[in-house]
Amino acid sequence: MSDHHDTESNHLPASVEEPIANPGLPAHKPRPTDVDVKAERRAERQVAAFFVLSMICAVLFCVAYFTLDIKDETDTFIGLGASNVALGATLGLALMFIGIGVIHWARKLMGDVEIFEMRHPAASSPEDREETLAQLSAGLEESGIARRPLIRNTMLGAMGMLGLPLIVGLRDLGTLPGKKLESTVWAKGTRIVRDVTGTPVKPSQLEVGDLMNAQPEGLVTLHHEEDVAEGEARGVEYLEGVDLQVAKSKAAVILLRMEPKDLTFSERSPQNWQVDGIVAYSKICTHVGCPISLNEQQSHHLLCPCHQSTFDLADGGRVVFGPAARPLPQLPLRVENGYLVAQSDFREPVGPSYWERDSK
């Protein structure tokens, strides 16, 4: 029994001493700014310089916002939109210089003492709150912000100037639309032209069952000067740039021809709004504004590809399926000099609902 015990004792691991003693924390070495007043002042000026650079970049952001053109003739820089490049670069540099200044301040001028804290319960007692306030006060004292007015003032200036790009950017939220959402460029006598080509449409050019994407004259770019001159002679205004895109976003229509006997007339879709079975409706879904042109020829239903709202074009654009809450607005038509023209603008706003719109 004892022999067995002795055998086990012989195999017990012996305590092994650490091959290398724990050296502990290295000796603290003061920074040049801790022992040299000139180095301290130089670091302070460097930090202030970064904050001043941030202020300059914030001002340049505002200058770029108001001077670089993004409308009719967009300014470019190495093939990119100069406005986007300038706004992104200046705002990014303004933030970067503040960050560099704070880091440089912490590394060169703030307290440089290693500290540790024992873990403790997360409860917040009155003593803890008092200690936190004391630590905050000590941190402010160590940072030297009270006795370094140059750093303090330039940092506050840089952070204050950083608000300028944010305030200027609010301008892009735009002015209140007012009545602009209630109307389009369609007006009495406006010719309906084919999308892309811009050629006017005669009733005889549409067969029963045909569906055509169309625009009001003046929104389609014409490639022949004589066509433009002829349109201008009739008083057509050809839009460009942002105005063109805004007008196109609301004025697109679809033309559909069906047998006149298939049409159902009502107060919102009178008989005199169609021409030999040809009707025109807004191309913009009244649910969330998707462009629609999926035509079910036999049923005269128009299907939105986004959320499957379905409209009956033979019955005033009535919703027969899906989440759309309103019928498609119909454009009144007539014939003038052999071409299809609008009698007026839409009698109701096009597109999806918005806050200012009534509930009709």
* pLDDT greater than 90 at residue 285: yes
Residues 151, 96, 137: CA angle, nearest 5 degrees:
40
Asked if 210 and 251 sit in the same domain, the reply is: yes
Asked if 164 and 249 sit in the same domain, the reply is: no
Asked if 108 and 248 sit in the same domain, the reply is: no
Task: Report pLDDT for 4.
Answer: 52
Task: Give CA–CA dist 182/167, Å, rounded.
Answer: 29
Residues 40-53: what's their mean pLDDT?
94
Q: Which amino acid is at 327?
A: P
Task: Give CA–CA dist 45/191, Å, rounded.
Answer: 69
Residue among 185, 180, 207, 354 at smallest CA distance from 282: 185
Asked if 185 and 329 sit in the same domain, the reply is: yes
Identify the band that residue 273 occupies on the pLDDT scale cut at 50, 70 and 90: very high
Query: Which token pair is 184?
Result: 């389009």
- Check residues 350 and 7 and name the one with the higher pLDDT: 350
Asked if 62 and 196 sit in the same domain, the reply is: no
Residues 122-137: what's their mean pLDDT?
81
Asked if 233 and 189 sit in the same domain, the reply is: yes
Output the average pLDDT for the chain: 84
3-class DSSP assignment, residue 141: helix
CATH of the domain at 277: 2.102.10.10
Task: Report pLDDT for 53.
Answer: 96
φ and ψ at residue 256, rounded to 5 degrees: -140, 135
Residues 285, 287, 292: CA angle, nearest 5 degrees:
25
Asked if 162 and 248 sit in the same domain, the reply is: no
Asked if 107 and 73 sit in the same domain, the reply is: yes
Q: How far is CA 258 from CA 211, 270, 329, in A?
A: 10, 16, 18
The count of structural domains within the chain is: 2
Q: Write the pLDDT tens digit of every residue in 289-344.
A: 999 988 888 888 999 999 999 999 999 999 999 999 899 999 999 999 899 999 99
Contact 285, 304 (CB under 8 A): yes
DSSP state of 13: P
Task: Give CA–CA dist 328/359, Å, rounded.
Answer: 15
Contact 104, 46 (CB under 8 A): yes
pTM above 0.85, yes or no: no
* pLDDT greater than 60 at residue 8: no
Task: Give CA–CA dist 240/251, Å, rounded.
Answer: 15
Residue 4 lies in a domain: no
Asked if 148 and 193 sit in the same domain, the reply is: no
Task: Give CA–CA dist 82/237, Å, rounded.
Answer: 29
Residue 348 lies in a domain: no
Domain residue limits at 323: 180-342
